[in-house]
Structure 1
Amino acid sequence: MKDIIYVSGHKNPDTDSICSAIAYAEFKNRIGDAPTLPVRLGNLNKETEFVLNYFCVESPKYIETVRTQIKDLAIDSVTPISPEISLKMAWSIMKKHNVKTLPVVDERERLIGLASLSNITSTYMDIWDNNILSKSNTTLENIVETLSAKCIYVSENTKNFNGKIVVTAMQPDSARELIEKDDIIICGDREDAQEIILDCKASLMIITGKHDVTDKIIKKAKEIGCSIIMTPYDTFTAARLIPQSVPVHYVMTKDNLIVFNKEDLVDEIKETMLQTRYRSYPVVDNNNKILGSISRYHLISKNKKKVILVDHNERTQSIPGLEDAELLEVIDHHRIGDIQTGLPIYFRNEPVGCTATIIASIYFENGLRPTKKIAGLLCSAIISDTLLFKSPTSTVTDKIMLKRLSEIANIDVDKFAQEMFKAGTSLQGKTLDEIFNQDFKVFKIGSLKVGVGQITTMDTEGFATMKNEMLAYMNEKSNSENFNLLILMVTDLLKDGSELLAEGPEKYLINKAFNVQLNESCAYIPGLMSRKKQVIPPLTAAATESN
């Protein structure tokens, strides 16, 4: 397991979620030994993109789950082999590395087959015949390597062999009856036998026992284009070894391979392993390049991914697979949600306007000064989440922290906030789905499933033209995803208030919670700026009273 700690904000991340994850990961890297990586669970909104570009900070890596994947395990490294190498060479590599299976790759290092000790030996026993070199397109190089031979003469025409293997352990005249054109002949040092072999126009003559070859024989071999090699082995050994010169591609398993991808979840590959009995399984990347092999014992030693949550503490807002991970910490400023842990963890929850305020405090409490870039990110998050202190969630602590951080980041807060809000609130070019989900959270209020999205904009006139389409979108989403209530807050930064759009079977709760009457599923509420402090609490109270 790669010992990485992941710092994650919530789904549909806003500026606070992203910037807090980056800043806290940086803090953990400065004080700890374990590498810490900020991650995101969704696409960046325009405001967050503006912030990251402004301070030249890379976007966190996107991940889909924290369930353990093959890439998280310390799988075995393997030595891939070429399909052209001989069985003897493959066997030697297996013995050297103490493995029973080798992946076979093409010239681009992509997996094309598997060569196992069992299929090499069993296939070798099953397919032996004297035409094996012809059938398998065995090369002269493989034969020379297998027989530890020395080349006496190599014909330019010798690339592959079309004939059968013949051992001339008989009188020369008897051999003449067996040898045909292009055959591969294993012989001794008898010159008369060698001449007959050449007369029959063999393609390869293998001389055993390290015997010299006369100039006369070499000259004649050149005339007919017959290659000559000399092996130190005796005739019996040479005849026994030569089938091992067959290339691996002839015997390897090519079809119905059981191969895992590095992204595969460990829990899902268990079933495949239970249904098959292989000792190991190849692991490839998304380009089908071999990365290693995995065996059953890797699953026994499985470790969980380590996770820190920022800016949320509710399971519905968090990363999929959290139940299979090891949750180390939670840093948040929202209500306490439903995440449970098996062991005590570091949990810090403060009633401030922004998670970034808490993280900045952690820096200073530990005697660390944020870098200029990190200070800029933390400033951006505070400005965004508090709407530059127009939100009722704002606290004196937020204001003090913003002033301190802005000095480090060297920014003019008012000027920067105006640029950031302008970049983030434009609705031009956005789809209904992008607008609704750019800052959307799901809450469990009693037995109710409630979704609340919020957009902060200076372009309320532009939104008015798409209001009916947005209500239709929300109605469809409510029905298809079984929401009891869906709300979209359209917060007007110029008027310091929000228009609520509501759909779902329990939308009557809006009337009760805010003492208003919905008009065509809409109601404007002056001073309503905060989802956390001004929407969820009254909705919770209204739902409780209704029950």
Structure 2
Amino acid sequence: MNLTQRGEQPMPKEAHKVVVIGHRNPDTDSICSAIAYAELKNRTSTLVCEPRRAGKMNQETEFVLKKFGVTPPRMCTDVNPKIRDVDYREMPGIPGSTSLRRAWKIMRDQQIDTLSITSADNELEGIITVKDLATANMDVFDTAVLAKSRTSYKNILETLNGTMVVGNADAVCTTGHIKIGTATPEMLESSVEKGDIVILSNRYESQLCAIEKEASLLIICNGAKVGRTIQRIADETGVAIMTTPVDTYAAGKLISQCAPISYYMTRDNILKFTLVTPVADVLRVMAKVRHRYFPILDEEGKYCGMVSRRNVIALRKRRIILVDHNEATQAVEGFDQAEILEIIDHHRIGSLETSGPVYFRNQPVGCTATIITQMYDENGVDIPPQIAGLLLAAILSDTLAFRSPTCTPVDENAAKRLAKIAGVDIEEFSTEMFEAGEKLDGKTPEEVFLQDFKVFMCGDIRFGVAQGSYMTRKNLQAAQALLQPYLEEARNKQNVEDLYMLLTDVPKEESVVICTGRYAAEVLSNGFESRPAADGSWTLPGVVSRKKQFIPAMMSAYQEL
């Protein structure tokens, strides 16, 4: 991640992409429509859109994307705002060797009261606050602070604007106390001890005395020149000398500010967040502490910036476009914390609410992809062959290759046109697609069940309906045998009152239903005026559409309970 240069004000990060996403447990229409609509929006608007998927792809969709050479959309199961959605301060960390005074200048220039201390490879080592700096500056009686903190000569030179005259600028203070030698040489002789750091004026006798007492460092004030004899003697005895333009008073005030911040920083129990920490969690932490700024770690655990209450309050919500659904129970987690820009769907009007007006397009056709095909035409945008293939696959999947009662002439006409653009034969392609989707090899019951699963609400009752389409009775019966023992476990996992699995025989145009739950058997009996077979399954002749045939009958039956 590129960090702002030191001294710059934080800049807003690149505008967040608009997420175009379908329902949970996505089917082919949900994913293909998201890809196609994101492409259309990118070509016709100023928005930067990215298709995403709210769950694992099923085998049918995987076949379709591979067939047309399209990269699967990235997974997105939660659009609750995270720290990465906040315009946090992308300011660099500073090394622990930085002086207190330098740290204070950074805080002043950056208008921030907390700094992060990082290693050479950007590992967070600690934090220091303006309060820590104030405490350090108040501790004026700790004359051994430079030795205890192993202050570098470079820090002293920087803070005092000094010049190295004798010795190595890369050395560090390891022994002694700070002494200010403004007294007579006789008094200086009794106060200076071996290894001390002595601040002096241009008085030759005092300088010589400090050298003879084996001070480790002499700091000569007021820009005074150091005589050659003093330099020679100091060099011979291993005493370092530096000069500074400031007077002894200023040098005495500044000398403790040369200490490295690593000596004062907080190392343990640092309150920090990651880029994926939910904003709700951040606000809870911030409400309990008095800190203003908190460090942020990226996906690799490296420091990448600071966040404050003000940053979080100014949060820009994630912007999303929903396709192929408008039910709250089917929407991606956190949709109510995002800004919904549009909804493109072909299902009944559901329970989803928005905080403001949105562009909402809902048409009684067999597939969302049909609507998106119309929108390409309305905007005068040519449909690329890859996109045409995806839209065609979605229409064939949702209409069961025109066998579903949800299929309209609009769907069929759109599909025939898309097939020409994509360069495929409808009958041949649909057979390949359905056969790819119904394969059970190596699949767990949960994987098969979640290939196309949706949750619905009728009053206070929450029920789930999954569906699988099969070209052969053999594969249908194999799926039934695999799923029947799993249904009760699935009902508990999905937290629904009742659970239904539609196993649709596409050529025969009927569905076998297996179910579990408190009201399931009663609702099926009343909704379709039928009785179960000996194995507990229901056969529903002519029922192939969950949306148009199964759900309306179930809703009526639940309302009569």
TM-score (norm 2): 0.90
> Do 2:92 and 2:304's aligned partners in 1 also have CA atoms closer than 8 Å?
no
**How many Å separate the matches in 1 of 2:386 and 2:325?**
23
> Do 1:510 and 1:518's aligned partners in 2 also have CA atoms closer than 8 Å?
no
For residue 533 of structure 1, the aligned residue among 548, 552, 556 is 548
**How many Å separate the matches in 2 of 1:346 and 1:240?**
65
**Change beyond 3 A, Cα 1:385–1:166:** same
Q: Which amino acid aligns with 2:527?
A: A
**Change beyond 3 A, Cα 1:459–1:192:** farther
Which range moves more in the overlay, 489-498 or 181-190? Answer: 489-498
Matched position secondary structure for 2:151: coil
**Change beyond 3 A, Cα 1:448–1:44:** same
Partner of 1:512: 526
**How many Å separate the matches in 2 of 1:127 and 1:104?**
24
Partner of 2:192: 179
Partner of 1:38: 51
**Change beyond 3 A, Cα 1:64–1:123:** farther
Q: Which amino acid aligns with 2:197?
A: I
Q: Which amino acid aligns with 1:256?
A: N
Structure 2 residue runs without a partner (length 5+): 1-11
Matched position secondary structure for 1:38: strand
How many angstroms does 1:339 deviate by? 1.6
**How many Å separate the matches in 1 of 2:70 and 2:308?**
40
For residue 232 of structure 1, the aligned residue among 229, 236, 245 is 245
For residue 136 of structure 1, the aligned residue among 149, 156, 159 is 149
For residue 463 of structure 2, the aligned residue among 437, 450, 454 is 450
Structure 1 residue runs without a partner (length 5+): none
**How many Å separate the matches in 1 of 2:311 and 2:102?**
28
How many angstroms does 1:443 deviate by? 0.9
Q: Which amino acid aligns with 1:405?
A: L
How many residues end up aligned between the 2 structures?
546
Partner of 1:222: 235
> Do 2:440 and 2:479's aligned partners in 1 also have CA atoms closer than 8 Å?
no
* 2:109 aligned with 1:96: yes
Q: Which amino acid aligns with 1:9?
A: G
Partner of 1:83: 96
Matched position secondary structure for 2:329: helix
Q: Which amino acid aligns with 2:531?
A: V
**Change beyond 3 A, Cα 1:544–1:212:** closer
Partner of 2:537: 522
How many angstroms does 1:316 deviate by? 0.5
**How many Å separate the matches in 1 of 2:287 and 2:281?**
11
Partner of 1:483: 496
For residue 299 of structure 2, the aligned residue among 278, 286, 293 is 286
**How many Å separate the matches in 2 of 1:289 and 1:110?**
5
Residue deviations 1:263-282 (CA, integer Å, cap 9, x gap): 33333333333322333333
Matched position secondary structure for 1:304: coil
How many angstroms does 1:20 deviate by? 0.5
Q: Which amino acid aligns with 2:223?
A: K
Residue deviations 1:128-160 (CA, integer Å, cap 9, x gap): 411001111111111111111111122499334
How many angstroms does 1:317 deviate by? 0.6
* 2:310 aligned with 1:297: yes
How many angstroms does 1:87 deviate by? 0.8
How many angstroms does 1:457 deviate by? 3.6
**How many Å separate the matches in 2 of 1:530 and 1:297?**
50
Partner of 1:22: 35
How many angstroms does 1:236 deviate by? 1.9
> Do 1:15 and 1:48's aligned partners in 2 also have CA atoms closer than 8 Å?
yes
Which range moves more in the overlay, 175-184 or 355-364? Answer: 175-184
* 2:139 aligned with 1:126: yes
Partner of 2:345: 332
> Do 1:426 and 1:458's aligned partners in 2 also have CA atoms closer than 8 Å?
no
Matched position secondary structure for 2:139: helix
**How many Å separate the matches in 2 of 1:156 and 1:340?**
67
Which segments of structure 1 move beyond 6 Å, counting only runs of 4 or more? none
> Do 2:476 and 2:505's aligned partners in 1 also have CA atoms closer than 8 Å?
no
Partner of 1:441: 454
Matched position secondary structure for 1:133: helix
Matched position secondary structure for 2:436: helix
> Do 1:158 and 1:227's aligned partners in 2 also have CA atoms closer than 8 Å?
no
**How many Å separate the matches in 2 of 1:6 and 1:253?**
39
For residue 389 of structure 2, the aligned residue among 376, 395, 398 is 376
Partner of 1:349: 362
* 2:515 aligned with 1:502: yes
Residue deviations 1:177-236 (CA, integer Å, cap 9, x gap): 333332222223333333332333322222222222233332332323222211112222
Residue deviations 1:484-522 (CA, integer Å, cap 9, x gap): 321112234454433221111212222333323243332
**How many Å separate the matches in 1 of 2:451 and 2:95?**
50
How many angstroms does 1:400 deviate by? 0.9
Residue deviations 1:271-321 (CA, integer Å, cap 9, x gap): 333322333333332334344333333444444333221111111011222
- After superposition, residues 402-421 of structure 1 pair within 5 angstroms as 402-421=415-434
Which range moves more in the overlay, 211-220 or 502-511? Answer: 211-220
**Change beyond 3 A, Cα 1:460–1:121:** farther
> Do 1:22 and 1:38's aligned partners in 2 also have CA atoms closer than 8 Å?
yes
**How many Å separate the matches in 2 of 1:133 and 1:297?**
37
Residue deviations 1:385-433 (CA, integer Å, cap 9, x gap): 1222232322221121112112222233333333333332211111111
Q: Which amino acid aligns with 1:69?
A: K
% identity of equivalent residues: 40
Partner of 1:431: 444
**How many Å separate the matches in 2 of 1:270 and 1:69?**
11
Q: Which amino acid aligns with 2:124?
A: L
For residue 379 of structure 2, the aligned residue among 366, 384, 397 is 366
- After superposition, residues 453-472 of structure 1 pair within 5 angstroms as 453-458=466-471, 461=474, 464=477, 467=480, 470-472=483-485
**Change beyond 3 A, Cα 1:286–1:338:** same
Partner of 2:557: 542
**How many Å separate the matches in 2 of 1:374 and 1:481?**
33
How many angstroms does 1:323 deviate by? 2.4
> Do 2:154 and 2:169's aligned partners in 1 also have CA atoms closer than 8 Å?
no
**How many Å separate the matches in 1 of 2:232 and 2:141?**
33
TM-score (norm 1): 0.92
How many angstroms does 1:79 deviate by? 4.1
**Change beyond 3 A, Cα 1:212–1:482:** closer
Which range moves more in the overlay, 74-83 or 34-43? Answer: 74-83
How many angstroms does 1:125 deviate by? 0.8
How many angstroms does 1:482 deviate by? 4.7
**Change beyond 3 A, Cα 1:296–1:490:** same
Which range moves more in the overlay, 475-484 or 8-17? Answer: 475-484
**How many Å separate the matches in 2 of 1:157 and 1:141?**
6
